Chains A and B, each alone.
Chain A
């Protein structure tokens, strides 16, 4: 028996001869996207089932979705509005604050629940075969549906503070869509990071909190920048921060009394963050597709 005969008799050669391919290989990007599209009904049903299950388990569960940002807004109103005076020069501070809190909460919740989508569903990952991006995307859909409810509450409150209902309000739809794309990208990114390193789930809330304080949720970044005479680099970082961009555009859409209207390039930034972050997060998540489930 020659060496080549020996090699040919190994399991790998046998597999090759019969056209068998290794299982659990990294899928090609196009095939992966196609298989993800095939599972769109699963994604959607999974998201809706989770919400239905939450509703069935506790009636208050859904209420907290709205109550939590409202109570947060009340605390910020007290601390930043009344005590620190961040409300001076802002005509309608309540609408300003509530819009900021609700819009930021959308990104925050999407990233938080997306980050746990793999590590929290290991049982499912280890039992059934499907493109793993189904899980973070299902979480994103779940948060989008829930945010739909809280946006209605937001609209009612903003109207109650005396803002008029104008055609500008329609601009909220593209803002939410772009913010959704951006947040989905980060959800995918953190889904992989948390699947690799579980501790990131512990550290993430603090990072998100710092991000929130830097994003002009309870104060106006433009007024702050004018007041303090900060360096152009810091000014650029503060104003270009994606969360600040989406919050500012949402305020422009909902509030006629907001005097510090964002310049048009804010929209370019909003689009830029969305079309960069979503593919980036998706590619990053896809690169580890074959490894999910080991941890």
Chain B
């Protein structure tokens, strides 16, 4: 026991675990017919999802099948893998948004996804959406008021903030969505392909903001198809393949192994 305490004391200084994923299984249940001999590949999964209005019947899609790893304070972890390999699902499960079928995710805080799109309403003004999005992320009305100007400035939308968001160009609304989402810092931050928004100038700005958020956060998870982004932002990578953990380690080693397989 004394040894464990000592270990804990040492670990709390350097690389204290912030997120522990223990034999995690995530299963989606969708209505739809069971296609004959279908496997868990992306195309048939999409077909199954699209055809759910057809004949009824409960289907289970096992998106994550027994993943285990420990993330430590100071880690920036890139999740890589093919489309439909379960990266985004894993991210959502770490955020506590998808209930595990089996296993568990342990954490001492509330990991948060960077993203607020689902809470926004396009026919409302930017102003109203900043309030709505801020409150949805857990800010108080006072905090939203405080951050309002910096959000508008960061998004660079100026007077457009008074117009409904469906009058914005796609770049403008992407910028506003990012600015709202990135206005809060979190202990454990989860980023899903958020880097690929806006024009070159905004990209630079948003990448700088993400670095800031990363420094403020204890642990960062990044899902991206751009291996360049992962290499730049992460010190560690986890390769997910068909819902299982294929490789976990130093970012350069994992990316090299992944690239070797993908290029084949």
Contacts and interface: CB of A to CB of B under 8 A. Distances in A.
Given A53-B121, A56-B124, A129 B95 contact: yes
Interface string A35-65: 0001101100110011011001100000000
A293 interface: yes
Contacts, number: 127
Interface of B: 4, 7-8, 11-12, 16-23, 27-29, 31, 68, 70, 92, 94-100, 104-108, 110-113, 115-119, 121, 123-124, 128, 131-132, 135-138, 140-141, 164
A128 B137 contact: yes
Range for the number of chain A residues in contact with chain B: 35 or more
A93 B217 CA distance: 66
A294 B104 contact: no
A133 to B, nearest CB: 15
A122 to B, nearest CB: 9
A156 interface: no
Interface of B is mostly: mixed
Contact of A12 (B99, B106, B118, B138): B106
Interface in A103-143: 121, 123-130
Interface of A: 8, 10-12, 14-15, 17-24, 38-39, 41-42, 45-46, 49-50, 52-53, 56-57, 121, 123-130, 198, 290-291, 293-295
B126 to A, nearest CB: 13
Nearest to A127: B118
Contact of B29 (A23, A46, A50, A294): A294
Given A15-B22, A50-B121, A129 B97 contact: yes
B105 A23 contact: yes
A163 B239 CA distance: 74
A127 B16 CA distance: 27
29 contacts: A15-B17, A15-B22, A18-B8, A18-B17, A20-B17, A20-B107, A21-B108, A23-B96, A23-B106, A39-B135, A42-B135, A45-B135, A49-B124, A50-B121, A56-B124, A56-B164, A124-B119, A127-B97, A127-B113, A127-B119, A128-B113, A128-B137, A198-B31, A290-B99, A293-B97, A293-B98, A294-B27, A294-B29, A294-B99
